[in-house]
Amino acid sequence: MFEICLLFSALCRGAVDDDPPPPSPAPTVFEFPCERYAAGLRGGGNFGVRVTGAAPFHGSYHLAEDVWLPAGTPVHAVADGVVRYSAFSPTWTDARGVVHWNLGNVIVIEHELDVAEEGLTHVCSFYVHLSAQRDVAVGDRVTRGQRIGAIGRHKSDENGLYPAHLHFGIHRGPYVQITDTFRRELEHDAKTTGLPVADAQGNVEFVKAAITAVELVGDAAVRVKLEGGLETVMSLEIGSTAPKDPPPDIMHWCVGYGEKATVDEWIKPSEWIARHAPSK
pLDDT in tens, 17-27: 567 777 778 88
30 lies in some domain: no
DSSP 162: P
Domain range for 62: 38-176+247-275
Domain assignment of residue 124, yes or no: yes
The pLDDT of residue 279: 81
189 with 211, same domain?
A: yes
Residues 113 and 201 in one domain: no
CA distance 53 to 199: 45
164 and 191 share one domain: no
CATH number at residue 262: 2.70.70.10
In a domain, 15, yes or no: no
Is the same domain home to 213 and 256? no
The answer as to whether 60 is a domain residue is yes
> How many domains does the chain fold into?
2
**CA–CA separation, 137 vs 117, rounded Å?**
28
User: What pLDDT was estimated at residue 18?
Assistant: 62
Mark whether 87 and 190 lie in a shared domain: no
Q: Which among 238, 252, 103, 106 is positioned nearest to 173, based on CA atoms?
A: 252
Q: Is 88 exposed, middle or buried (0-12, 13-18, 19+ CB in 10 A)?
A: buried
pLDDT of residue 6: 39
* Domain annotation covers residue 210: yes
- What residue ranges of the chain have pLDDT lower than 50? 1-16
Same domain, 53 and 186: no
Please check whether residue 6 lies inside any domain of the structure: no
The pLDDT assigned to 217 comes to 93
Both 138 and 212 in a single domain? Answer: no
Same domain, 125 and 257: yes
195 in the same domain as 119: no
DSSP string, 35-102: TTTGGG-GGGG-TTPBP-S-TTSTT-EE-SEEE---TT-EEE-SSSEEEEEEEEE--EE-TTS-EE--
Whole-angstrom Cα distance, residue 70 to residue 195? Answer: 45
Answer yes or no: are the C-beta atoms of 100 and 201 closer than 8 Å.
Answer: no
Domain-embedded: residue 226: yes
- Shared domain for 63 and 142, answered yes or no, is yes
Q: Residue 98, exposed/middle/buried by CB under 10 A (0-12, 13-18, 19+)?
A: exposed
Distance between first and last Cα of the chain: 54
Look at residue 203 and tell me if it is in a domain. Answer: yes
Verify that 148 and 227 share a domain, yes or no.
Answer: no
162 and 51 co-located in one domain: yes
pTM value is 0.90
